[in-house]
């Protein structure tokens, strides 16, 4: 019965059919109005011919109006879902919160709403998938950016190491780059001195004041928990630093982020930075050793302290063996700091070079002249006693005063104070002779400078 009612109703019919029915029903109004006008005014006697009374005509008109209203209702039922569907579609297109278009019909409007719902669901699924891809892409971009920063940092570190800067500056630069790669995490470098089994803080970045190691810590006492407590960090990773195959330090990186775990690729990257630290430390050791092996001062081309002290010890041993004297002079320039401040580094270096040339020309071939440090020069005089050494010192004092006088200001003479010591009277080692000459120079300066103290 329900199926029959459904079949004879207009519910399963299409929009074309419903539109024709609605148009037909609504068109009865003008037809009936025209008929009423004709009957009433043009052919008034026709009512009597057909036996129509006013009540009959009124009834017919009411029936027509009802039919027309039914046509209007059918048309409204077609138009309203379309308008509602258009509004819902607009809201969905603008990103509104409507999930589906709720129109349950069995005509073209119902089919269109179902198609729109399917399309909307597919679009939402695609948007969710795009959102997921966007998040993954964002993470990939972050990792790529981190790798670019790390690569740039490693290249810069290589340049800093090759430029032979001070080790402390190089290590500070490396810890800064480690913090940059790990998004401003705390980075700490612990190093042990050569042969020692204790760590001390060599460099740090973003470490809170007061969290640094206040004293040296034994390697055996440095554990994961110990480092976390020392530096006030919740998450840390420590990478060993080895030099020539031996453990010499530890690179510690950490932060206080919640539920944070260092990924394996981050640890591998930190190992690369630890290797750079190893290279920097090894490079510094090689530079120091090369300086120790170098015998000449770069500025003056005279011998340096590393050569002069051992050579003086050798000459003393030879003098003791053959019971011969060996003199030593310490030549200290007067007012050199004032001259350097007034005239600049360039002229100061030129002055030291000229002074070195004067000293070298004032001694014999077997004698040795060296620049010990800054404006201090040492001269080893084999086979010369204190009297002979003092004579050489006096000649040097005069030559310096005369030769460098043209560079001096009127109120500041360029002179030297010289201390003279001799083996074995003033000592039997190089250290003792050098210390004696140092004390004599201080006495000479206290007495007015530009003199020889014996």
pLDDT at 365 over 80: yes
| Inter-residue contact 316 to 429 (CB < 8 Å) | yes
According to CATH, the topology of domain 153-290 is Beta-Lactamase (3.30.450)
- If phi over 0 gives left and psi between -120 and 50 gives alpha, with beta otherwise, what is residue 183? left
Q: What is the pLDDT of residues 179-205, one digit of tens each?
A: 887 777 889 898 887 666 788 888 888
Calpha distance 315→317 (Å, rounded) = 5
b/e string for 441-453 if b means 16 or more Cβ within 10 A?
beebbeeebbbbb
173-187, 226-240, 379-393: range with highest mean pLDDT: 379-393
Mean pLDDT of the region 379-408 = 88
> CA nearest 174: which of 255, 265, 284?
284
Calpha distance 425→252 (Å, rounded) = 56
When pLDDT is cut at 50, 70 and 90, the band that residue 369 belongs to is: very high
pLDDT at 162 over 80: no
Q: Just give the CATH number of 305-453.
A: 3.30.70.270
**271: its two tokens:** 């190992």
**Which residues make Cβ contacts (< 8 Å) with residue 310, sequence separation at least 6?**
430
Q: What is the pLDDT of residues 407-427, one digit of tens each?
A: 655 446 789 999 999 998 999
Long-range contacts of 245-251 (CB under 8 A, 24+ apart): 247/192, 247/219, 248/191, 248/192, 248/194, 248/278, 248/281, 249/189, 249/190, 249/191, 249/192, 249/199, 249/202, 249/277, 249/281, 250/189, 250/190, 250/199, 250/222, 251/178, 251/187, 251/188, 251/189, 251/277
Q: What is the pTM of this model?
A: 0.48
Per the prediction, the chain carries an average pLDDT of 79
Q: How many CA atoms lie within 13 A of 369 on its CB side?
A: 19
Q: Is 269 exposed, middle or buried (0-12, 13-18, 19+ CB in 10 A)?
A: buried
Rounded to a whole number of angstroms, the CA Rg of the chain reads 52
The full set of domain ranges for the chain reads: 2-90, 153-290, 305-453
φ, ψ dihedrals at 165, nearest 5°: -75, 175
Calpha distance 454→90 (Å, rounded) = 107
284 versus 384: the higher-pLDDT residue is: 384
pLDDT of residue 98: 57
pLDDT of residue 410: 47
- If phi over 0 gives left and psi between -120 and 50 gives alpha, with beta otherwise, what is residue 382? beta
């Amino acid at each position: 019965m329900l199926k029959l009612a459904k079949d004879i109703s207009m519910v399963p019919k299409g929009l074309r059919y419903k539109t024709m029915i609605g148009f037909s029903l609504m068109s009865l109004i003008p037809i009936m109005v025209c008929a009423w006008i004709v009957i009433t005014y043009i052919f008034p006697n026709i009512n009597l011919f057909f036996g129509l009374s006013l009540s009959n005509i009124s009834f017919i008109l009411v029936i027509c109006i009802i039919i027309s209203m039914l046509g209007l209702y059918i048309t409204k039922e077609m138009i309203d879902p379309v308008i509602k569907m258009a509004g819902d579609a607009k809201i969905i297109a603008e990103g509104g919160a409507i999930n589906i278009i709720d129109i349950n019909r069995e005509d073209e409007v119902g089919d269109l709403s179902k198609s729109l719902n399917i399309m909307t669901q597919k679009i939402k699924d695609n948007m969710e998938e795009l959102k997921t891809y966007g998040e993954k892409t964002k993470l990939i971009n972050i990792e790529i950016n981190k790798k670019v920063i790390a690569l740039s940092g490693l290249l810069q570190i290589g340049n800093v190491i090759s430029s032979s800067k001070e080790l402390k500056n190089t290590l500070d630069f490396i810890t800064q780059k480690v913090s940059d790669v790990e998004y401003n995490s705390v980075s700490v470098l612990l190093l042990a001195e050569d042969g020692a089994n204790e760590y001390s803080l060599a460099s740090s970045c973003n470490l809170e004041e007061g969290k640094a190691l206040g004293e040296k810590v034994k390697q055996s006492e440095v554990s994961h928990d110990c480092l976390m407590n020392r530096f006030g960090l919740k998450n840390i990773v420590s990478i060993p630093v080895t030099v020539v195959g031996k453990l010499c330090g530890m690179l510690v990186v950490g932060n206080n982020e919640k539920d944070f775990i260092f990924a394996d690729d981050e640890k591998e990257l930190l190992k690369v930075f630890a290797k750079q630290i190893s290279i920097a430390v090894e490079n510094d050791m090689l530079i120091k050793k090369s300086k120790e092996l170098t015998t000449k001062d770069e500025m003056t081309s005279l011998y340096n302290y590393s050569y002069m002290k051992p050579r003086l010890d050798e000459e003393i041993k030879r003098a003791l063996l053959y019971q011969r004297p060996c003199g030593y002079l310490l030549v200290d320039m007067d007012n050199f700091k004032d001259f350097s401040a007034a005239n600049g580094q360039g002229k100061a270096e030129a002055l030291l070079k000229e002074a070195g040339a004067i000293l070298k020309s004032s001694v014999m071939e077997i004698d040795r002249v060296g620049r010990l440090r800054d404006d201090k020069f040492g001269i080893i005089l084999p086979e010369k006693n204190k009297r002979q050494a003092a004579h050489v010192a006096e000649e040097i004092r005069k030559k310096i005063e005369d030769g460098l006088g043209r560079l001096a200001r009127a109120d500041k003479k360029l002179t030297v104070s010289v201390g003279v010591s001799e083996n074995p009277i003033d000592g039997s080692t190089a250290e003792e002779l050098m210390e004696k000459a140092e004390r004599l120079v201080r006495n000479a300066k206290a007495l007015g400078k530009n003199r020889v103290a014996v």
